[in-house]
């Protein structure tokens, strides 16, 4: 039985683009990625538990396999672009003090020296 699910606009845009490029329906593309993700997570060379530990800071990303590092960096960059209000305030205080990094108007993480004034 088919079920409806909610997918964020950003991810939906990726699904649409990849579905077009691969001549798949939207549902077909999601199912394809689901099978790939499940295969990766079941791979003996891949441990999502280790990726989670590295993201939590309790394991060095240097010990991750190549496949695990790809997932780690993808998740890390995804999370880095979603600042909380507290993080935005923190970076704003640092900017006002002439310190550190933050996000430019496009949401990219930048150092103060690379920001356009």
Q: How many residues does the chain have?
A: 117
pTM of the model as a whole: 0.49
Considering the domain boundaries, does residue 34 fall inside one?
A: yes
Domain presence at residue 95:
no
Q: What is the pLDDT along the chain (117 residues), one digit of tens a residue?
A: 778 889 999 899 999 998 998 889 999 999 998 988 888 878 888 888 899 999 999 999 999 988 889 888 888 887 777 778 888 898 788 878 877 666 777 777 777 555 454
CA distances from 91 to 53, 73, 80, 114, 115 (A): 26, 22, 13, 15, 13
Measured distance CA(10)–CA(31) in Å, rounded: 18
Angle at 82 between CA 77 and CA 86, to 5 degrees: 125
The backbone torsions φ and ψ at residue 89, rounded to the nearest 5 degrees and listed phi first, read: -65, -40
Number of structural domains (the chain) is 1
d(CA 69, CA 59): 12
Residue 38 included in any domain:
yes
User: Taking the CB of residue 66, how many other CB atoms lie within 10 A of it?
Assistant: 8
Which domain, by its residues, includes 31?
Answer: 11-42
Beta bridge partners of 103: 109
Nearest to 79 by CA among 52, 59, 43: 52
């Amino acid at each position: 039985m088919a079920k409806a699910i909610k997918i964020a606009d950003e991810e939906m845009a990726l699904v649409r683009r990849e579905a077009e490029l691969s001549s798949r329906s939207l549902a077909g593309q999601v199912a394809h990625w689901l099978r790939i993700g499940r295969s990766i997570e079941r791979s003996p060379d891949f441990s999502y538990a280790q990726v989670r530990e590295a993201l939590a800071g309790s394991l060095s990303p240097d010990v991750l396999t190549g496949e695990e590092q790809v997932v780690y960096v993808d998740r890390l960059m995804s999370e880095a672009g979603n600042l909380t209000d507290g993080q935005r305030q923190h970076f704003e205080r640092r900017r006002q003090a002439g310190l550190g990094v933050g996000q430019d108007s496009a949401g990219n993480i930048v150092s103060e020296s690379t920001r356009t004034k």
